Amino acid sequence: MTYKNNLREIRKEIGMPISELARRTETSRQTITNIELHGQEPSVTLALKIAKELRSDPYDIFFTNDVIQGLQNENKIA
Protein backbone atom coordinates (compact mmCIF):
# COMPACT_ATOMS: atom_id res chain seq x y z
CA MET A 1 0.00 0.00 0.00
CA THR A 2 1.28 3.49 -0.79
CA TYR A 3 0.66 6.43 1.47
CA LYS A 4 0.32 10.12 0.68
CA ASN A 5 2.58 12.37 2.70
CA ASN A 6 3.40 16.06 3.01
CA LEU A 7 7.13 15.72 2.38
CA ARG A 8 7.20 17.50 -0.97
CA GLU A 9 5.05 20.39 0.23
CA ILE A 10 7.10 20.95 3.37
CA ARG A 11 10.43 20.59 1.55
CA LYS A 12 9.38 23.10 -1.13
CA GLU A 13 7.97 25.47 1.48
CA ILE A 14 11.40 25.85 3.07
CA GLY A 15 13.13 25.90 -0.32
CA MET A 16 15.28 22.80 0.07
CA PRO A 17 16.11 20.93 -3.16
CA ILE A 18 15.73 17.15 -3.25
CA SER A 19 19.48 16.81 -3.75
CA GLU A 20 20.20 18.78 -0.57
CA LEU A 21 17.73 16.78 1.53
CA ALA A 22 19.19 13.56 0.16
CA ARG A 23 22.72 14.69 1.00
CA ARG A 24 21.78 15.76 4.52
CA THR A 25 19.94 12.52 5.24
CA GLU A 26 22.62 10.34 3.64
CA THR A 27 20.27 8.79 1.10
CA SER A 28 19.72 9.06 -2.64
CA ARG A 29 17.69 11.61 -4.55
CA GLN A 30 15.73 8.68 -5.97
CA THR A 31 14.73 7.54 -2.48
CA ILE A 32 13.45 11.02 -1.59
CA THR A 33 11.57 11.17 -4.90
CA ASN A 34 10.03 7.74 -4.28
CA ILE A 35 8.87 8.82 -0.84
CA GLU A 36 7.43 12.09 -2.16
CA LEU A 37 5.78 10.93 -5.36
CA HIS A 38 5.19 7.21 -5.04
CA GLY A 39 4.35 6.84 -1.37
CA GLN A 40 7.36 4.70 -0.50
CA GLU A 41 7.49 4.28 3.25
CA PRO A 42 10.81 5.43 4.73
CA SER A 43 12.46 3.55 7.56
CA VAL A 44 11.91 5.06 10.99
CA THR A 45 15.53 6.20 11.00
CA LEU A 46 15.20 7.94 7.64
CA ALA A 47 11.86 9.51 8.60
CA LEU A 48 13.45 10.98 11.72
CA LYS A 49 16.44 12.28 9.73
CA ILE A 50 14.11 13.91 7.21
CA ALA A 51 12.05 15.52 9.97
CA LYS A 52 15.19 16.84 11.65
CA GLU A 53 16.52 18.38 8.44
CA LEU A 54 13.16 19.94 7.62
CA ARG A 55 12.75 21.09 11.22
CA SER A 56 9.32 19.51 11.28
CA ASP A 57 7.46 16.97 13.33
CA PRO A 58 7.55 13.54 11.63
CA TYR A 59 3.82 13.28 12.29
CA ASP A 60 3.18 16.43 10.22
CA ILE A 61 5.25 15.07 7.33
CA PHE A 62 4.12 11.47 7.16
CA PHE A 63 0.66 11.27 8.74
CA THR A 64 -1.90 12.97 6.53
CA ASN A 65 -5.61 12.44 6.99
CA ASP A 66 -5.44 9.82 4.20
CA VAL A 67 -2.81 7.85 6.11
CA ILE A 68 -4.74 8.01 9.36
CA GLN A 69 -7.92 6.87 7.59
CA GLY A 70 -6.04 4.02 5.90
CA LEU A 71 -4.58 2.83 9.19
CA GLN A 72 -7.99 2.96 10.82
CA ASN A 73 -9.47 0.92 7.97
CA GLU A 74 -6.66 -1.65 8.23
CA ASN A 75 -7.35 -2.04 11.95
CA LYS A 76 -11.06 -2.58 11.30
CA ILE A 77 -10.26 -5.36 8.85
CA ALA A 78 -7.65 -7.08 11.04
Tens digit of pLDDT for each residue in 26-73? 999 999 999 999 889 999 999 999 999 999 999 999 887 665 566 667
What is the reported pLDDT for 75?
74
Q: Does 74 have pLDDT greater than 90? A: no
Half-sphere exposure of 3 (CA within 13 A, CB side): 18
What is the reported pLDDT for 2?
60
What is the reported pLDDT for 37?
92
Question: What is 7-77's CATH number?
Answer: 1.10.260.40
What is the reported pLDDT for 63?
81
What is the reported pLDDT for 27?
98
Measured CA distances, 20 to 4, 17, 23 (Å): 22, 5, 5
